[in-house]
Structure 1
Amino acid sequence: MTVQVNITPNGRMSLPADIRKRLGLTGGGAVYLDETADGVVLRTVPQIVAQAQALARHYRDAPGASVDDFLATRAAENGE
């Protein structure tokens, strides 16, 4: 879906009400803006959390990924 959003002289933009409702955004809520090579991407807090959780799931079972493994590696590097 592509929607034109106008920018006021002081730099503010308003998201259309139907989009805010669909995304669960309320007044005073936050969105994150990512600048990419293709333009700008807005993400909601739940979207950011879901992305972080997916990334963590990807790495959690990797060899050496536990806190104990990290601490053991650091201790070995420090000669302990």
Structure 2
Amino acid sequence: MTLQVNVTPNGRMSLPIDIRKRLGLVGGGSVLVEETDDGVVLRTVSQAVARAQAISRALLEGKPDVTVDSFIAEGRQWQE
């Protein structure tokens, strides 16, 4: 689904109510803004946590003896 929202001169924008309801943001809340090569992605905090957990599982798959240091080092490689 693609919707157009307006950004005010001071940088504010409003998400339509139906999207806020689906995301659980009816009473307000926080979203994380990620700038990508393709544009901007908005995620709720719970969506960002779920994404981080999925990435962690992928990095740890088949590596039962991984250490925190090696996990962080390998994660940094994904960012490059």
TM-score, normalised with respect to structure 2: 0.71
The alpha carbon displacement at 1:48 in A equals 0.5
The alpha carbon displacement at 1:26 in A equals 3.4
Counterpart of 1:25 in structure 2 is 25
Is the contact made by 1:60 and 1:66 (CA closer than 8 Å) also made in structure 2? yes
**Gaps spanning 5+ residues in structure 2: where?**
71-80
Q: Please give the alpha-carbon distance, in whole angstroms, between the structure 1 residues aligned to 2:39 and 2:61.
A: 34
The alpha carbon displacement at 1:62 in A equals 4.3
Structure 1 vs Structure 2: percent identity of aligned residues?
63
User: Max radius of gyration: which structure?
Assistant: 1
Q: Please give the alpha-carbon distance, in whole angstroms, between the structure 1 residues aligned to 2:40 and 2:68.
A: 39
Q: How does 1:1-80 map to 2 (within 5 A)?
A: 1-63=1-63, 65-67=65-67
Is the contact made by 2:60 and 2:66 (CA closer than 8 Å) also made in structure 1? yes
After superposition, the CA RMSD in angstroms is: 2.4
Structure 1: 4+ residue segments shifted above 4 A: none
Q: Please give the alpha-carbon distance, in whole angstroms, between the structure 1 residues aligned to 2:11 and 2:68.
A: 48
Change (3 A) 1:7 1:68: closer
**Gaps spanning 5+ residues in structure 1: where?**
71-80
Is the contact made by 2:31 and 2:44 (CA closer than 8 Å) also made in structure 1? yes
Equivalent pairs counted in the alignment come to 70
Q: Please give the alpha-carbon distance, in whole angstroms, between the structure 2 residues aligned to 1:56 and 1:20.
A: 28
